[in-house]
Amino acid sequence: MNNENLENPNPNLISKNTGDFKPEIEPLISPTKAAFLALVLVFLLYQIGGAILTLAIFGSNFEHADVNAMRLLTMGGQILLILLPALLLSKFIYTDVTTILRVRTAKLKEAGLFILGLIILTPLMQSYLNIQSYIIDKLAVVSPFVNSAKNFLDKLDKLVESTYGNLLSVNNAAEGILVVIVVAVVPAICEETFFRGFVQSSFEFNFKPWKAALITAIFFGIYHFNPYGLLPLIGLGFFLGFAAYKTQSILVPMILHFLNNFIAVILYFIFGSEDIFENTASQTETVLPNIIIFIIFTSLFIALILAINNYYKKQKLLSEEI
Segment among 55-69, 250-264, 282-296 with least mean pLDDT: 55-69
Q: Where are the domains of the chain?
A: 108-321
Q: Cα–Cα distance between 165 and 276 in angstroms, integer?
A: 10
Most trustworthy range by pLDDT among 17-26, 178-187, 277-286: 178-187
| pLDDT for residue 113 | 96
CA angle 59, 61, 63 (to 5 degrees): 120
Of the candidate ranges 83-97, 138-152, 154-168, the one whose mean pLDDT is the lowest: 154-168
Separation of alpha carbons 159 and 315, rounded Å: 47
pLDDT digit string, tens, across residues 201-231:
999 999 999 999 999 999 999 998 888 899 9
In degrees and rounded to multiples of 5, residue 21 shows phi and psi of -85, 100
Compute the C-alpha angle 239/1/250, nearest 5°: 30
Find all residues with CB under 8 Å of 17, minimum gap 6, and list them: none
DSSP type of residue 21: B
Residue 48: predicted pLDDT: 86
Q: For the chain, how many helices (H) and strands (E)?
A: 16, 0
For a pLDDT cut of 90, what percent of the chain falls above it?
Answer: 65
Query: What is the predicted pLDDT for the residue at 3?
Result: 38
